[in-house]
Structure 1
Amino acid sequence: MRSGQFRRVIVAEFVSSIGTQMTTLALPWFVLMTTGSPARMGLVFVVQILPVPLLSMPAGLLVARWGARRVSIVGDAVGAVLIATVPTLYLAGALPFWALLVIVALLGCIASAYLPSQRMLLVETLGSDERIVTAANALFETATSTARLVGPAAAGFLIAGFGPLHVLWVDAATFALSAVLLLGLPHRKRTPEPISASKMAEGLSFVLRDPVLKRMSLAAFGYGLLMPVVLLALPVMAKTRYDSDPHVVGWLMAAWGGGTAVGTVVVARLAGRIPPVHFAACGGVGAAVMLWLLPWDQPAVTAALTIGACCMFLPGVTAPAVALLTLRPPADLRPHVIPLFGAAVFVASPLAYGTAGVLFEHLAVAAVLAAVAAGATLCALVLLSLVRHPAAGPRGASRRGAEDGAANGTTR
């Protein structure tokens, strides 16, 4: 992981994530200020995220056909053009709302292939040792988590000083820079796979047959349903427990991001010494214990510490899950398994957000958080069942790397 190639991948992810997080704030603000309609602002969000679960499985076919490096570079380049199109058309007086929706829908289509290609790029760069890829995924998440802290703050500063259009220019530049960084990766010889819809079915079948991937995916889907509820609970807690103090919301949100960032660093440091399934079990148990503390009334400081500790444990689940989902399938099925996982997570999150809003309308926040803690406990039990499972042993680079070399014709 000290290689220049891996550093290029991490820097490219950090740069593009900074721009994406800036646009996440700037684009809704731009829509709200130019249209005056919160409903239109919400529609932009829906149109951009909807293609991801709908196209994730066909996107796996594209990654298998082109390779992760090419898909990532093309995604960055096209993303830069699309983002730059918004301020260009607006300044030319040629940006009706329907055209903006088309642009953000195309951005969502790119994301459906770009997200799995980024994970596959780690395997192409580092090889197939589960512990190394787990650590690499943790560092990858560190870059993304840090961008979530830096990007919105930078966007707020730039919007206040220069307006949202200039932030979109910056995002376009970050996409272009990411593409340039990835162009520096060596081109890998590969035999293109024929595009076949049967590969998607084979990928799904493999996940359902593999006892480790099946349970890991079930737990990950559970966290995808539960954690958005906790996130939406933070402003409700600030209102009902802490006298509607907006500063408390900021502290709780900062604790969420800070705990996640710390957790990814810890996983990256320890992944080489702990098997992925053991790491996931420890992370699941730790997160469940912390979540059981949230329903109780407590000072804002301890609530923030509890949230930070919970989020610190969660990368111990997500990084091993992504590593195992990337490496356990045969090389020809890997591009089709990660999109399945991404589709499940992207479907789970909107369901959770919609359900949470209704729950907080009719139930006390403590009751909802207790239910979340119970669900997290079930997820932890699923992960604990993998610790002694005979199929959960580590798969090192010696065997898996040979498979990859044979499948892809890899030369170093």
Structure 2
Amino acid sequence: MGQGVAQGLRLDLPRAGRVPAPAVAAGRGRHWGPAAHIDNAGGDMTMAATRTLWANREFSVFWAIQTLSAFGDGFSKVAVPLLVLQATGSVAQMGLLTACGAVAGLLVGPLAGILVDRVDRHRLLVGSNVALMVLLASIPTSWLFGPQIWLLYVVMTASSAIAMVMRVASVAAVAGLVDRGQLASANGRLSTSYHLVLVLGPVVAGALAASAGAVSAMWVDALTFGLAAMGMQLITLRSSPGRHATHWRRDMLDGLRFIWRIPVMRSMTLALTVVIFLELGLVDVFIFLVRDVMQRGDQGVGVVLGASSVGMMLGACLTSRLRSTLGFGACMLGGWAVLGAGVLVVSLTEDFGVLCAAVALVGFAIAVTGICSLTLRQEITPEPMLGRVTSAYWTVHSALGPIGAAVLTGAVKEHGVRGPLLVVGLSFLVLAGVCVFTPICDGADALTR
């Protein structure tokens, strides 16, 4: 993409904070035809689908690839901590390794969107899968000659950086594989399978590690990335960004400008910053509540996390129908209200069964709001900018998450579990009420005003 085209993209951004619907469609580089329309009554942008999502062979292949990769991730999540413990016996080493990966992802995040928008996304996804296969395979290969802790740091840091690029590229790829009216269903299907294998992957990996050693689990993860690279050869993205030579700082600001100039995107980013601040530490607190306060042990923790996954899978399955029936605003605001109600129940109940149901409700709300947010961003962002907008979006609203987790866990340490969770639950309800007066309530319908 030449510099002039990149400048043209910036000129196409709404100067008054509004984007007319035809400009959005044109910006995505697709021909929508007469079926494209804005449903002003429901506040959602929809498109009469010419084929069902199940008939979309290329998306089905992509879905299988993503599911396979997520399944493989479960193996490394089990194997890497075991390898560290076997080699060093140090929990501190495990924490340091996790921190290195997290920092790498955080640093690469803002640049990932620039890369995704500058290069061919198909080649980027293929190359990333191949790179991850080679990196992960190097661990069991080197272990043949004895434990190599230094290699774990190198591989896991590099893998986290590449995985962040793949995550941004995958969001952009979905928009190039399905029609706009099918985005919610596509994201729901991806989310459902992800949460399913999130439960199954570690279970199978643990059994394999127990019978054949943790090193064998790393071979499986490497194999899944190799298969994913081959599967990507069967896919052709409908559009791919051109190349341009603008400065990386200007590219990074493009994503931020786009978010800020569109009222619904700006409001969503600010609201999600609060949501992530409140939400990120919840899992740790739930685990502490079940294991140490309610004295349910590790088995109880597994049951609660399983309930959360079930809620997320159910939410992912129903999001498309809920969004088409209730509209974007009702799903987002209602989801945050349900999330707050679930946390309130957790803070007040002494019954383990009720707690599991409440945690499932929390998972349901997180899935619905997450998929709706992702789908809206894919719908209204010009396709050549999806990488930059996605990375800017994630970077901004995730910035306060670690601080929020530290504040919540610190408050639990000082004041116990019930009080801090009560505050978090009420905060979600207040947020939902405040957002009634923002463009979030109108969703994509706000773009036409």
Question: Which range moved further: 182-191 or 354-363?
Answer: 182-191
SS at match of 1:50: helix
**TM-score, scaled to structure 1:** 0.89
Q: Indicate conservation of the 8 Å contact 1:15/1:174, yes or no.
A: yes
1:155 aligned to which of 178, 193, 205: 205
- Asked if structure 2 preserves the Cα contact closer than 8 Å seen for 1:155 and 1:167, the reply is yes
Contact 1:135 1:267 (8 Å CA) reproduced: yes
> Matches of residues 120-269 of structure 1 in structure 2 within 5 Å?
120-129=172-181, 132-186=182-236, 188=238, 190=240, 192-196=242-246, 197=248, 198-269=250-321
After the TM superposition, which segments of 4 or more aligned residues of structure 1 sit over 4 Å from their partners?
187-191, 386-391
Identity of aligned residues (%): 21
Letter in 2 for 1:276: F
Deviation at 1:330, TM superposition (A): 2.8
| Alpha-carbon distance in 1 for matches of 2:436, 2:368 | 13
1:147-177 deviation line (CA, Å, top 9, x unaligned): 2111111111111111110000000011111
Q: Is 1:100 paired with 2:148? A: no
Q: Which runs of 5+ in 2 are unaligned?
A: 1-52
Q: How far does residue 333 in structure 1 lie from its aligned partner after superposition? A: 2.2
1:306 aligns to 2:358 (yes or no): yes
1:215, distance to aligned residue in structure 2 (A):
1.5
User: Deviation per CA, 1:168-207, whole angstroms, max 9, x where unpaired?
Assistant: 0000011111122221012556452314321210110121
Give TM-score, length-normalised by structure 2.
Answer: 0.82
Determine if the alignment matches structure 1 residue 27 to structure 2 residue 80: yes
1:402 is aligned to none
Contact 1:84 1:168 in 2 (8 A): yes
Q: 1:173 to 1:32 in 2, by over 3 A?
A: same
Aligned-partner Cα distance in 2 for 1:266–1:187: 27
Name the structure 2 match of 1:399. none
Point out the more displaced range, 301-310 or 262-271: 262-271
SS in 1 for 2:236: coil
- The answer for the alignment partner of 1:385 in structure 2 is 437
Deviation, structure 1 residue 110: 0.2
Cα distance between partner residues in 2 of 1:241 and 1:30: 31
Report the counterpart of residue 343 of structure 1 in structure 2: 395
Superposed counterparts of 1:306-325, under 5 Å: 306-325=358-377
Contact 2:173 2:237 in 1 (8 A): no
Deviation at 1:368, TM superposition (A): 1.1
> Comparing 349-358 with 261-270, which one deviates more in the overlay?
349-358
Larger CA deviation: 34-43 vs 277-286: 277-286
User: For the residues of structure 1 that align with 2:423 and 2:245, how far apart are their CA atoms?
Assistant: 43
C-alpha RMSD over aligned residues: 2.2
Listed as ranges, the matches of 1:72-83 within 5 Å are 72-83=125-136
Aligned to 2:384: 332
Structure 1 residue corresponding to 2:120, chosen from 50, 54, 67: 67
Q: Distance in 1 between matches of 2:110 and 2:229?
A: 24
Report if the CA contact (8 A) 1:215-1:382 is conserved.
no
Q: Equivalents in 1 of 2:176, 2:288: separation in Å?
A: 44
Query: What's 1:407 paired with?
Result: none
Tell me the CA shift for residue 243 of structure 1.
2.9
Q: For the Cα contact (< 8 Å) 1:283–1:314, is it kept in 2? A: yes
Alpha-carbon deviation of 1:296? 0.7
SS at match of 2:418: helix
In the aligned structure 1, how far is the partner of 2:446 from the partner of 2:226? 38
Letter in 2 for 1:288: G
2: CA distance, partners of 1:305 / 1:362: 27
Which residue is 1:57 aligned to? 110
**C-alpha separation in 1, matches of 2:87 and 2:397:** 32
Do the aligned residues in 2 keep the contact of 1:22 with 1:167 (CA within 8 Å)?
A: yes
Query: Distance in 1 between the 2:447 and 2:236 partners?
Result: 26
Distance 1:189 1:33 in 2: 47
Q: In the alignment, what sits opposite 2:8?
A: none
* Distance in 2 separating the partners of 1:110 and 1:180: 18
**What residue is the counterpart of 2:66 in the other structure?**
13
Shift of 1:103: 1.2
1:286 aligns with 2:338: yes
